[in-house]
Amino acid sequence: MAFLKIESIVKSFGTFLANDNVSFGVERGRIFGLLGPNGAGKTTLIRMITNIIVPDSGTITIDGNVVSPQQQNVIGYLPEERGLYKKLKVGEQLTYFGRLKGLSATESLRRGLWWLDQLDASGWENKKVQELSKGMQQKVQFIATVLHEPTLLILDEPFSGLDPINSDLLIRVVKQLQEKGTTILLSTHQMDQVERLCDDIVLINKGRIVLDGTVSDVKRRFRSDRVILEYEGDNTTLRTKHAAYITQATEGRMEFRLEEHSVTSNDLLSDALASVEVRRFEVASPSLHDIFVRTVTAV
């Protein structure tokens, strides 16, 4: 039985149909990607999971229980719109959010200090939020979300404002939470992070599910038509002969898209061997970014 189960959800705002008979399940302890373009209905769905709004029809259950205000303490929700109090000190802020989730002031601060240390933010407890950068504030917001050790963690654009080093740090932390049994729902437009984190995905467009499955299965459904070439030498012949297929070209590296063209990967390899010194030649599966774009634009 799915830990989070979405069954036949319909939600309208006036004449606008935000969610149109949406159904899927998230297994316990999995990282599940909720994907889609802006306006697809993702945020509406998250707000129903967190009981901020209610569906017109259909049911949402967490661990077999229909979503209700009583389940708020099992959910940790990091919204895309951040909600920190800028004039409060970080320690005061974390204590406040912990107490909202039923923790004592002492326990809230203890956990907050532990998390600050885990996120390379020791000593921030006496800083006011308005003194922090956007990325630093993002770390504080994340800590406030996980302070009460939720069993269902919902992350909406969690990497916004983070540099690559801190994005990697957050990815490690999220994976550690998964290893401890936390079920995680991730909504983001950063497909590279989805590939690194998610076990399963569902892609919503115009309120309906247009693609779903494990990440590996979804990628297998799409033909491998992307070729990566790394080389040394003069690429003039390749650039001239295969200009129609080149999607990216930098010094020593080229990418080609062969879909719906008569040229094959063997043809390309033969031409590459005849004109440059090949260091790497790979027929790559399409990225989730490519799959996202192709699926959404085809609807």
Residue-wise pLDDT for 34-92, tens only, equals: 999 999 999 999 999 999 999 999 999 999 999 998 888 899 999 988 788 889 999 99
Task: Give pLDDT tens digits for 29-47.
Answer: 999 999 999 999 999 999 9
pLDDT by position in tens, the chain (length 299): 899 999 999 999 999 999 999 999 999 999 999 999 999 999 999 999 999 999 999 999 999 999 998 888 899 999 988 788 889 999 999 999 999 999 999 999 999 999 999 999 999 999 999 999 988 999 999 999 999 999 999 999 999 889 999 999 999 999 999 999 999 999 999 999 999 999 999 999 999 999 999 999 998 888 777 899 999 999 999 999 999 899 999 999 999 988 766 788 899 999 999 999 999 999 887 889 989 998 998 76
Task: Domain 4-220: state its class.
Answer: alpha beta
Helix H, strand E, coil C: the string for 16-59 is EEEEEEEEEEECCCCEEEEECCCCCCHHHHHHHHCCCCCCCEEE
